[in-house]
Amino acid sequence: MERFERVTGAAAPLLLENVNTDAIIPVPWIVNFGQDFGKGLFGGWRYGPDGAENPAFVLNQGPYREARILLAGRNFGCGSSREEAVWALLAFGIRCVIAPSFGDIFFENAFKKGLLPVTLPLDAVTELARAAAAGPAPVLTVDLRACTVEAPGGRPVAFAVDESRRQALLRGLDEIDLTLAHDAEIAAFQAADRARRPWIYGAAPAGPAG
């Protein structure tokens, strides 16, 4: 998993409520093997029926084509449990989504894949969108070490994140990596348990002769 420490980049405003995972990555972009999930991000909104780009959609506009941060509305990522929604955001280049709330499963999947979901009140998200748009470029900085979001020349806005998840993102460790970090402890437990209960690790006892 790619480490997350500090990201500065274009922040695309998509301040809609209840954006579900089907909108984030529509089914056709999942079932067709080899599809580019990044290209399929918000595929139903980014493209018309003929496949041409919709110029009104934010990710098809100017600097937002290279967005690294997404500003969203309440309950972002609700709906189905598809983890491809997170993959699509990452494949596009987005490393952080800032919203007032998230769908529970999306929120969990984000941390597992290296996408940082930042929860802030709606007025704070709206103000960040306004501040970014007011600058010479619509840029924000998300600093996971300091747990702040900041627009150029603006005051840092603090956010909270579970410390174990914060450390995992800072170190670029997924759940398997975190488990393997305790390899010596696991091996010591298994050795002690083998000595205490050898029958657990040996062959099953032979049945009665017959």
Where do the domains of the chain lie?
Answer: 6-197
Kind and range of the H or E element at 78? none
Has domain 6-197 been given CATH number 3.20.19.10? yes
Return the pLDDT at 80. Answer: 87
Return the pLDDT at 210. Answer: 47
State how far the Cα of 81 lies from the Cα of 163, in Å rounded to an integer: 24
The alpha carbon torsion through 54, 59, 60, 65 (nearest 10 deg) reads: -160
Low pLDDT (below 70) residues in the chain: 33-34, 174-182, 203-210
Q: What's the pTM?
A: 0.84
Sequence-ordered list of residues with C-beta below 8 angstroms from that of 23, at least 6 positions apart, any chain = 42, 44, 45
- Candidates 81, 34, 41, 87; CA nearest to 64 is 41
At 139-197, the pLDDT tens digits run: 999 999 999 999 988 899 999 999 999 999 999 876 655 555 667 777 777 777 777 88
Return the pLDDT at 203. Answer: 52
